Structure 1
Amino acid sequence: MDPLQAVTFFTVGAAGWAVVTTRDPLLQTFVAGFFGLTLSLLFVVLQAPDVALSEMVVGAVAFPLMVLLTVAKARTGDRK
């Protein structure tokens, strides 16, 4: 295994662990976005650029945006 691959695997594992252990939904959204970026970097290192582009769009942009909108909508609904 290449050292770059090993470091990237470790970074993805650490980011995944950070997503699981984060309790605040707003902070967890940002950590999940970082996890998506590290996962797309792993796919680039593993020479799968098409999968990396898909992961970047879904995991680092679309999913965190949808969660942020949902959290914002839920928090404004609680203030009545």
Structure 2
Amino acid sequence: MSTVDHPTPIAPASRWPLERALFALAGSVTLLSAALVAVVSPWFLLLTAFVGLNQWLYVAVGACPASLILHRVLGLEPACRRSPR
């Protein structure tokens, strides 16, 4: 009988990178605003526009209000700054 060393599975990262959390947040707020437009008022399209504006701000500058809050409060790091597994 020979013993075979099985590699230990790599545990998934306990935290999402900043970009993934931002994508989830933007998608959730966009879906919420679409529901509010359908049920409450078309003025909630302004919320959708605000989300889109913040996404472009993140692309152009590398930061948006949500990314600053997620970084400072939750300590999320961008994927490029995370330590390799």
- TM band (smaller chain): 0.3 to 0.5
Is the radius of gyration larger for structure 1 or structure 2? Answer: 2
Length-normalised TM-score, structure 2 = 0.45
Length-normalised TM-score, structure 1 = 0.47
Of structures 1 and 2, the one with the larger relative CO (CA 8 A, separation 6+) is 2
